[in-house]
Amino acid sequence: MKNVVEIYDREAASYDQRYVKPIHIVEDRIIADMINARYTEGDHVFDIGCGTGHVITITDIPKEDYAGFDISPGMVEVARKKFPGHVFKIVDVRDIGWNLGSAPNLMLAVFGQANYLGLEYFVHALNRMPETKFLAVLYSGIDNPDCEYTKEYQTIYSPEEIRASFSTIGRSVSISGLSHPHHGISDPDELFKDQISKLEDLNESKYFIIRG
């Protein structure tokens, strides 16, 4: 993990600027709607691989209900500057025992976290929290300039492998395919409709959104 830490520490100051194109705004809107639909006021939310606190920016989760965890001190430093009232912890989430006094009600792993950790680990953690809702956004393995710079640290899973992995702990998941290649659409509302219409199609999508 040392190298992932080095990469994200280096990227931290400019990380937010990478993701400001219309397609990123549309991806965020789709993910935010799904997270908000899973969140209930008073839920205890764990955001693993929280980075610079992107989930806080895009969702309605208040600081009282939120805790962010990230292995990169640089990313957490940016998050703390942006959101001084929120709780963030610098930790390799694989070192969390998950024998927690009170489990989170909702676990978020947005943009690649399960690819870095390995799905097996992610599933193992969730197995300790059978009541915990979750939403994860995984890289699908399709060429994606947005995550190219950490490619060698990602493990890529097919939808079949994802389903099989969760079935080992008796949990069924819904998988959506986010962000198909698009051509010539510049209006974010049109782009949003276009992308929403393709969520069921897992082929050629840049990300898989897993909900359970």
Interaction site with ligand SAM (CB under 6 A): 1, 4, 8, 49-51, 54, 69-72, 75, 92-94, 110-113, 116-117
Secondary structure of the chain: what % helix, strand, coil (to 5)?
Answer: 45, 15, 40
In the complex, the smallest distance separating the C-beta of residue 103 from ligand SAM, rounded to whole angstroms, is: 18
Q: Which is nearer to ligand SAM, 68 or 170 (CB)?
A: 68
Q: Say how far apart CA 104 and CA 144 lie, in whole Å.
A: 31
Give the residue nearest to ligand SAM (CB). 51
**Two structure tokens written together for 150:** 């950490």
Q: Which is nearer to ligand SAM, 6 or 189 (CB)?
A: 6
In the complex, the smallest distance separating the C-beta of residue 182 from ligand SAM, rounded to whole angstroms, is: 21
Partners of 133 in the beta sheet?
106
Q: Give how far Cα 77 sits from Cα of 15, 16, 17, 39, 101, Å.
A: 12, 13, 16, 26, 27
Q: Which is nearer to ligand SAM, 117 or 210 (CB)?
A: 117
Q: Give how far Cα 66 sits from Cα of 42, 53, 147, 198, Å.
A: 10, 10, 25, 31
In the complex, the smallest distance separating the C-beta of residue 184 from ligand SAM, rounded to whole angstroms, is: 27
In the complex, the smallest distance separating the C-beta of residue 188 from ligand SAM, rounded to whole angstroms, is: 19
Q: Which is nearer to ligand SAM, 151 or 193 (CB)?
A: 151
Please give the DSSP secondary-structure letter assigned to residue 146.
Answer: T
